[in-house]
Structure 1
Amino acid sequence: MSIRENIQQVRENIAAAALSAGRRPEDITLVGASKMNDAAACREAIAAGIDALGENRVQEMTQKLAENAYDGAPLHFIGHLQRNKVKQVVGKVALIESVGSYELLEDIDRQAEKLGIVQPILLEVNVGGEEAKSGFAVSEVRAAAERAKSLSHVVLRGLMTIPPVAEGEHGSVPYFEKVHALYVDINASLYDNNLDILSMGMSGDYEDAVRCGATMVRVGTAIFGARHYTL
């Protein structure tokens, strides 16, 4: 199947999942996770109506920006962002989804101040408490959201999570439910319900994520197929 056909299929799956949960399909943003796919694949996804593209690696993103790979769609950074790469990302992307430490949060704020901009961000939640993953522990997210609120050059739009590898079908659901509850609580108590993004769900579990309240899903393989691009 082509990228266009894959996007159509993913959208149909999102719509079915949304409707089954009493939600509107148009309220879910589809981000194409374009890691290791070339500029031509990105352009094909944009032509097929993808809502946004997401990159995991700064070097690859920078190269594809130079090739105008993302023209016509918002670009998100969705991978682990090293502090020494902040200058290469802030101001280049519509949304940084993977802010998982106070140090990174404040580095982004400082760089955005230098550029005279306000950078939209999500806080990454390490919902499984996995040592190998970045992100705030569930118990830390409220304080991190309060800190983000106090900064002048970032704007918090919501939360992002990558659950542990699922054991069995629907294994991600308890983690999605936990982050959704956290999102609802922080949104109501700290942000007057102005947060609008809950980014969770990838190729293997995006339908469950939608049923659990995700407003954004990050889908790679189910759109682009096996990854084949190298720098």
Structure 2
Amino acid sequence: MSIQSNLNKIKTSLPKHVTLVAVSKTKPVSDLMEAYDAGQRIFGENKIQEMVDKYEQMPKDIQWHMIGHVQSNKVKFMAPFVSLIHGVDSLKLLQEINKQALKNNRIIDCLLQIHIAEEETKFGLDENELNELISSSDFKEMKNIRILGLMGMATYTENQSQIKKEFIHLKLIFDSLKNIDGYSKDTLQWVSTISMGMSGDYQLAIEFGSTMVRIGSSIFGGR
């Protein structure tokens, strides 16, 4: 099947409140343009340099999402144009994004990454670290970032009940955000996004509250 028909099939299966991020990492610009011509405007990349290269070559109405692990020293390269950064997992990284956003006279939207998987290789904050970050005075001083919600990656496993448990866990943390000490309507008024679910488990993720899914191989085919 073509990229266009894959995309159309997925889009018709998604509820209206769920945003589709087409994960285009490692794919050539020609593949992305095929998805673009089929109406897709949100693309997810996991390497900043690759995203910058594609940004320079492609139409400027695209929203670029950074979905991979972010190194602080690379933030400056995407700060002029990135639409949403999914994997924010430390105060230090948030401060760097804030700094680079200010330099570019922008407010950059971010998701805080929560560690929900049983794999040590996955990044993310635990619940205590999330509470500490949001309650900190440093967090409240940052004016050039906007937290839209949370992101999480389930364990890479065939075990559906484990994945389900991890998705439920993320949704509970998301729902508890508004009860965090020091929660202010100013800093977290935008919180409405849960980015969870990929090609293999996005339908399950939507069932348990996801509002944004990151789908690559089901659109573009395997690597």
TM-score by length of 1: 0.86
Query: Structure 1 residues 42 and 188, CA, compared in 2 at 3 Å: closer, same or farther?
Result: farther
Q: Which residue of 2 aligns with 1:162?
A: 153
How do 1:1-231 residues align onto structure 2 when only pairs under 5 Å count?
1-14=1-14, 25-68=15-58, 71-128=60-117, 130-147=119-136, 148-187=139-178, 190=183, 192=185, 194-227=190-223
Per the TM alignment, residue 168 of structure 1 is displaced from its structure 2 partner at its CA by: 2.0
CA contact (8 A) 2:196 2:202 kept: yes
| Structure 1 runs (4+) greater than 6 angstroms displaced | none
Per-residue displacement from partner, 1:78-118 (whole Å, max 9, x unpaired)?
Answer: 10111110101223211111111111111111111222211
Q: For 2:184 and 2:169, locate their aligned partners in 1 and report how far apart those are by CA, in whole Å.
A: 19
CA contact (8 A) 2:72 2:93 kept: yes
Q: State the AA in 1 paired with 2:71.
A: Q
Q: For 1:63 and 1:106, locate their aligned partners in 2 and report how far apart those are by CA, in whole Å.
A: 25
Per the TM alignment, residue 132 of structure 1 is displaced from its structure 2 partner at its CA by: 2.0
Per the TM alignment, residue 129 of structure 1 is displaced from its structure 2 partner at its CA by: 5.8
Q: Could you say what secondary structure the match of 2:40 adopts?
A: coil
Further displaced range: 111-120 or 127-136: 127-136
Q: State the AA in 2 paired with 1:99.
A: V
Q: For 1:60 and 1:115, locate their aligned partners in 2 and report how far apart those are by CA, in whole Å.
A: 20
Further displaced range: 129-138 or 82-91: 129-138
**Percent identical residues:** 34
Coordinate RMSD, CA, aligned: 1.8
Per-residue displacement from partner, 1:116-139 (whole Å, max 9, x unpaired)?
Answer: 211110001111364322211132
Per the TM alignment, residue 40 of structure 1 is displaced from its structure 2 partner at its CA by: 1.3
- The aligned length equals 216
Q: State the AA in 1 paired with 2:30.
A: A
Q: For 2:60 and 2:99, locate their aligned partners in 1 and report how far apart those are by CA, in whole Å.
A: 27
Q: For 2:123 and 2:93, locate their aligned partners in 1 and report how far apart those are by CA, in whole Å.
A: 11
Per-residue displacement from partner, 1:201-222 (whole Å, max 9, x unpaired)?
Answer: 0000000000000000000000
Q: For 1:223 and 1:180, locate their aligned partners in 2 and report how far apart those are by CA, in whole Å.
A: 26
Q: Which runs of 5+ in 1 are unaligned?
A: 15-24
Query: Structure 1 residues 171 and 12, CA, compared in 2 at 3 Å: closer, same or farther?
Result: farther
Q: Could you say what secondary structure the match of 1:104 adopts?
A: helix
Q: State the AA in 2 paired with 1:44.
A: E
Q: State the AA in 2 paired with 1:212.
A: F
